[in-house]
Amino acid sequence: MGTEGEAGVRVIAGRYRLEARLGRGGMGVVWRATDRLLGRQVAVKELVPDDSLSEEEARARHDRTLREARAVAQLSHPHIIVVHDVVEEDERPYIVMELIDGGSLADRIAEHGPVEPREAARIGADLLGALRAAHAAGVLHRDIKPANVLVESGSGRAVLTDFGIAQVAGATTLTETGSFVGSPEYTAPERMSGERTGPASDLWSLGALLCTVLSGESPFRRDSLGGILHAVVVADIRTPPQAAPLLPVVRGLLERDPQRRLDAAEAERMLRAFLATGRTPPAPARTGYTPTQADLPRQRSADPSVPAGRERPTRGVLVAALLVAAMAGAGVSAAALLMDRGGGGGTPPWPGPTVSGSAATPTVSGSVPVPTVSGSTAVPTMSGSVSAPAQGRPGAPSGYRVVDDPAGYAFAVPEGFTRVPQGERVFYMSPGRTFRLGVRVTQPQPGGPLSVLKAAAVKGADTNPGYRNGRVTETTRDGRPAALWEFTWDGFSAAEGPRHTFDLCWEEGGRLYDVWVSAPVEKAREARQYFDVAVDTFVPV
């Protein structure tokens, strides 16, 4: 276990004097040490043996540790911890790293609370640069969380550390013994459900980290492991209000489908644009991306990992098995969480077509019947007044404004959208009415939001020409029962073309709220952002 130096201090590899313990994690102990050869302070991570492993497994783990730590040592980036050396003593690996004078990001949040959006954007952009360098070298971190980010005193430099469960492309995972590695609150849903891990999984973790930095708590924190798994894999993702200025980035990183998730370059560009201008640009559409019904944004179904119109039974089985195993001890029925609640029929509680089914692409819960507004209604006139964020009022992401609508609610709408009242329905429309964001407030109906939307879906072909691929899903909004209706239709004219609609319905304060967004199929990604923001910021007043 190393030689004994002066005053009983351990010296390893005849060079590194271990002087004080800085911390302990799941895989080892980190020491403050002195490199006696170069006369400098360093940090040394001692990887402790796992008594649960067989001799063969322990040897494989040891070999992987050395191999992959040496790969990480090749990384060179100002926001990645510098690995100076990898040594072993008495068959135990030690990783010698630069010593950062400062605590972790988790310590900073615990002591001083959440950070402001500009500081969060700076930290996020720096870490994204670090991830780009790591991923380009074929190294995945796999455990990004505030505790694994150090903040240097004085400079405030954020440094990504603890690549202890990192994975090098083409290699097995460093701690892989058939058990899960990582921090569930920050782990991407594809890893939770047993799918292949790639760079996009690290980006999901960074999105969760940004939420924590801005609000003080991960959006997936729950009281049990089963609750965390449900939040990550199944439940609606509710970003904290403090994330509003950076919402396009946060939403883009917390996209459950890794193929649609923002990549590191896009996210970093957007955050640096916010730092330069105070405004976060919208997430770009994927180059060459041509949406089809199968590729449209996912609806919140019993298994939200399944995009509309696409069946993925293998993943669904894996998710179900994972949740069943995790929740069995907590007395939670995974069947109740995962069962399909779509379909149904009934009579719509309001008359037929009047409003144009609005299409959006949300990642939200609950939705309400989407009637249809004629594209040739009155000329838009602006009414709802812009209100600054105040107590009880939502904040507006960059590129949006808060409207205090006379109908009794406030929410954020994109700048440039104008208010067009249509009887009981109020629309906020983009120039040329390409995007239509609708709201309707009525009295609660028998059977609640789910019954309302199922009844409307039965009449979908009557109210929306060419209605197809409709699905109603039971969900929640802020813990309240809700329903989400998603469908494609042909629009009101050949010139308008096919459109896609997302509609959320829920009850709150003795009223039934219905919010929807409609847009051309090819603009579904952008519409989804509008829908997400509208539902996330909606507040009855």
Q: How far is CA 108 from CA 92, 93, 104, 143, 183, in A?
A: 32, 30, 6, 19, 19
What angle do helix axes 199-215 and 105-112 make, rounded to 10 degrees? 20
Classified as helix, coil or strand, 46 is strand
Under 8 Å CB-to-CB from 409, ≥6 apart: which residues? 439, 441, 513, 538, 539, 540, 541
Under 8 Å CB-to-CB from 377, ≥6 apart: which residues? 420, 422
Under 8 Å CB-to-CB from 128, ≥6 apart: which residues? 206, 264, 267, 268, 271
State the sign of the Cα–Cα–Cα–Cα dihedral 136, 182, 261, 281. negative
| CA–CA distance, 106 with 216 (Å, rounded to integer) | 9
Residue with tokens 């009047």: 354
460 close to 372: Cβ distance less than 8 angstroms:
no
What angle do helix axes 117-136 and 199-215 make, rounded to 10 degrees? 160
Which one of the listed residues 35, 90, 101, 143 is annotated catalytic? 143
For 177-232, the DSSP string reads SSS--S-GGG--HHHHTTPPP-HHHHHHHHHHHHHHHHHSS-TT--SSHHHHHHHH
Classified as helix, coil or strand, 463 is helix
Taken as a whole, the chain contains a residue count of 541
538 close to 515: Cβ distance less than 8 angstroms:
yes
298 close to 305: Cβ distance less than 8 angstroms:
yes
| CA–CA distance, 109 with 529 (Å, rounded to integer) | 29
- 308 CB-side CA count, 13 A: 28
454 close to 460: Cβ distance less than 8 angstroms:
no
Under 8 Å CB-to-CB from 156, ≥6 apart: which residues? none
| CA–CA distance, 381 with 419 (Å, rounded to integer) | 6
| CA–CA distance, 162 with 164 (Å, rounded to integer) | 5
143 is catalytic: yes
Q: Put the strands of the sheet holding 425-429 in their side by side order.
A: 418-422, 425-429, 436-442, 511-520, 499-508, 480-489, 468-477
| CA–CA distance, 518 with 454 (Å, rounded to integer) | 19
Which residues are part of the catalytic machinery? 143
